[in-house]
Amino acid sequence: MTRPFRTAAVIGAGTIGLSWTALFAAHGLTVQVSDPRPDLEDATDEALAEFAPHLAAQGLDTDGLAGRVHLAADVAEAVRDADVVQENGPERVGFKKELFAQLIREAPGHALLLSSSSAIPATAFSAGLEDAGRVLVGHPFNPPHLMPLVEVVPGERTTEEAVHAAVDFYTAVGRTPVVERQEMPGFVGNRLQSALSREAVYLVQQGVISPEDLDTVVTHSLGIRWSAVGPFLGSHLGGGPGGYRHMSAHIGQSMQQLDLGQPSQDPQDRERVIEAVEKAYAATPYTELAEARDRKQLAVLAALDDVRRTQHDKEN
């Protein structure tokens, strides 16, 4: 590791910030949390209680989890001793600009400054700042204490040392960082998700399929395949012994000719899709749906871990 990470500051304790808080604390870091929300204490306690079993299922020691999490009076107090700051405030460029200017003033000079930003690139909120070399995006998938991927996206002024440090940090907290070398809007994960969602909405609008059947198509085929191999390795294997080259010349050409749809943005058409999704899932309360999702995701992660361990044992 390029440097030790002992204290993390989590700025913004909503959906993403609370999940990071639990993960960092489960990896033994001292976590300082700052958020002006009036229910911060209750929300943090509830999140730690809810996420502890998920962390334990990943083999992490959750004893003393709450004791490592401290609620700071403000941003300045939270970052005072930080080795790393993970920002998770509102997705507004003005907010992030002001906050990162404050972080540069108030966090120790060695602290790595990371943003969970989903679509705003680091250059947009750090370009004019002194010391922007240590600012970059570490974009997680929700919830970050379960989802391994973190997209590490440097801004124009981010140093290579900061990129390496971010990769080391996320690796140390059990994530799988992937460095992306251009600040594409939506980065890579959300662009892929958006391409699929666009076609899904189009197919429902066209009356080809219902939202719940479309979900079944994905969870019973692509979802299972993609947790084992990505689209490129999937195609490489799909091409048989001739690999990706054969796939590309053979099925690939007819796939290229598919005319993918553009969903209607007409408010009434959009409303019809929203109502269809609500109707499909209204019978089960939100908490039950979310718990079922988390249980299944944990089971997939555990199964993959098992396969990796067996493979590792075989090779060593």
Tell me the catalytic residues: 151
Q: Which is nearer to ligand NAD, 193 or 310 (CB)?
A: 193
Among the listed residues 118, 123, 158, 205, the single contact to ligand NAD using CB under 6 A: 118
Tell me the number of residues near ligand NAD by CB under 6 A: 22
Of the candidate spans 22-30, 52-60, 86-94, 268-276, the one that interacts with ligand NAD by CB under 6 A turns out to be: 86-94
Q: What's the closest the beta carbon of residue 219 comes to ligand NAD, in angstroms?
A: 19
Tell me the sheet residues that pair with 11. 34, 87
DSSP secondary structure, 187-203, as one string:
TTHHHHHHHHHHHHHHH
SS3 104: helix
SS3 144: coil
Q: What's the closest the beta carbon of residue 127 comes to ligand NAD, in angstroms?
A: 18
Contact string 157-176 vs ligand NAD (x = CB under 6 A): --------------------
45-49 contacts: CB < 8 A, separation 24 or more?
47/18, 47/19, 47/21, 47/22, 48/21, 48/22
| 28-57: contacts with ligand NAD (CB under 6 A) | 34-37
The burial of 48, by beta-carbon neighbours within 10 Å (0-12 exposed, 13-18 middle, 19 or more buried), is given as buried
146 touches ligand NAD (CB under 6 A)? no
Q: Which is nearer to ligand NAD, 151 or 205 (CB)?
A: 151
Q: Which is nearer to ligand NAD, 95 or 244 (CB)?
A: 95
193 touches ligand NAD (CB under 6 A)? no
Q: How many CB atoms lie within 10 A of CB 229?
A: 13
Peptide bond into 143 cis (omega under 30): yes
The strand ranges marked E within the chain are: 7-11, 30-34, 69-71, 84-87, 112-115, 135-140, 149-154, 176-179
Contact string 272-291 vs ligand NAD (x = CB under 6 A): --------------------
Among the listed residues 17, 121, 138, 154, the single contact to ligand NAD using CB under 6 A: 17
Of the candidate spans 83-91, 157-165, 197-205, 284-292, the one that interacts with ligand NAD by CB under 6 A turns out to be: 83-91
Q: What's the closest the beta carbon of residue 9 comes to ligand NAD, in angstroms?
A: 10
Among the listed residues 16, 52, 129, 162, the single contact to ligand NAD using CB under 6 A: 16
The number of angstroms, rounded, from the C-alpha of 104 to the middle of its chain's C-alpha atoms is 24
Q: Which is nearer to ligand NAD, 37 or 279 (CB)?
A: 37
Cα separation of the two ends of the chain: 24
72 touches ligand NAD (CB under 6 A)? no
- Structure tokens of 50? 């809810």
Q: What's the closest the beta carbon of residue 238 comes to ligand NAD, in angstroms?
A: 30
Q: What's the closest the beta carbon of residue 91 comes to ligand NAD, in angstroms?
A: 4
CB 155 within 8 A of CB 132: yes
235 touches ligand NAD (CB under 6 A)? no
Residues 6+ apart with CB under 8 A from 283: none
Q: What's the closest the beta carbon of residue 28 comes to ligand NAD, in angstroms?
A: 23
> At residue 90, what is the residue type?
P
Binding residues for ligand NAD (CB under 6 A): 11-17, 34-37, 75, 88-91, 116-118, 139-140, 142
